[in-house]
Amino acid sequence: MTNSLAEFRLPIRVYVEDTDAGGIVFYANYLKFMERARTELMRSLGFDKPALFDDMQFVVTDVSLKYRSPAMLDDQIWVTAVLSKASRVSFEMAQQVYRGDELLVEGWVKVACVNSATKRPQGMPKNMFNALTEHFKNSI
């Protein structure tokens, strides 16, 4: 498991609604878990409405996942987020899902900042960009 000081971790319990009929986490739900981790990361940096700010919003533009082992009903898992690249208009995060020390899923997500009305690229507020990059200054 990564031990970076900048790594953000979110604990999640696997509920019935997260699983298929066999009690295995449905593959698409890992994307939801990763979204929650990015949202809570932004909240921890002081941004209470992380998906929509006045005239801007964040949209996922690229995602890649590698599944290694399934999470199961009632597992306690950890979802991590580490900033790997950032500009005022977009950022990329490496994300992982663990059960204890076992890596279950790893992913890479690119998120862009767009204008809410036009859906065109727009720079995120400077204070948000600074808070994000300062938190992860040793990882990028």
Which are the catalytic amino acids?
20
- Alpha carbon distance 140, 15 (integer Å): 34
- Residue 101 in contact with residue 21, Cβ under 8 Å? no
Provide the terminal-to-terminal Cα distance of the chain, rounded to the nearest Å: 18
